[in-house]
């Protein structure tokens, strides 16, 4: 089993399909953007993955951005294959992203999880994430930019 950062030059059809299968476990009703778009050099994204026997069994993504208050990261789309959960893979992925954040000299890493995802909450707490005294607000755009024309 290995964890690593996925780069655009690592992509092939098989890897794209494996990542799509994982993403469907996390969000079966959402449309996934193409990995080549996500790994575009203009998009400040780090994709951590875990592979076992040539199969991707976990992914976690962190976008980075600069604002007046500092360099920040936001972790999203953390998913471990349902057959591989409970083996510490999520922890390895998050730790790899935390290492990447340190290399990028980020002042803060944010993430969001829903209240019912107790395993995720326990994982994030165990690696040092704490609840923030704030609320997340969102506004959906009327156009669905995730779909290709």
Q: What digits encode the pLDDT tens for the residues 112-143?
A: 988 898 999 999 999 999 999 888 888 887 76
**Closest to 78 in 3D by CA, of 131, 129, 8, 23:** 23
Kindly report the pTM of this predicted structure.
0.88
Q: How far is CA 101 from CA 31, 71, 75, 109, in A?
A: 27, 9, 10, 8
Q: What is the pLDDT of residues 11-56, one digit of tens each?
A: 999 999 999 999 999 888 888 899 999 998 889 999 999 999 999 9
Q: Are strands 45-52 and 55-67 parallel, antiparallel or unpaired?
A: antiparallel
pLDDT score, position 11: 94
Which residue has better confidence, 142 or 2? Answer: 2
Helix (H) or strand (E) holding 38: helix 35-38
Share of the chain above pLDDT 70, in %: 95
């Amino acid at each position: 089993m290995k964890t690593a950062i996925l780069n655009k030059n690592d992509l092939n059809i098989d890897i794209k399909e494996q990542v799509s299968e994982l993403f469907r476990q996390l969000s079966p009703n959402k449309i996934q953007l193409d990995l080549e778009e996500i790994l575009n050099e203009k998009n400040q994204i780090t994709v951590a993955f875990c592979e076992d026997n040539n199969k991707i069994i976990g992914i976690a993504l962190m976008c980075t951005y600069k604002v007046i208050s500092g360099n920040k990261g936001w972790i999203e789309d953390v998913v471990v294959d349902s057959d591989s959960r409970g083996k510490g893979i999520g922890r390895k992925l998050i730790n790899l992203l935390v290492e990447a954040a340190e290399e990028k000299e980020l002042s803060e890493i944010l993430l969001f999880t829903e209240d019912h995802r107790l395993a995720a909450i326990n994982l994030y707490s165990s690696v040092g994430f704490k609840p923030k005294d704030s609320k997340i607000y969102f506004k959906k755009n009327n156009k669905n930019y995730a779909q290709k024309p």
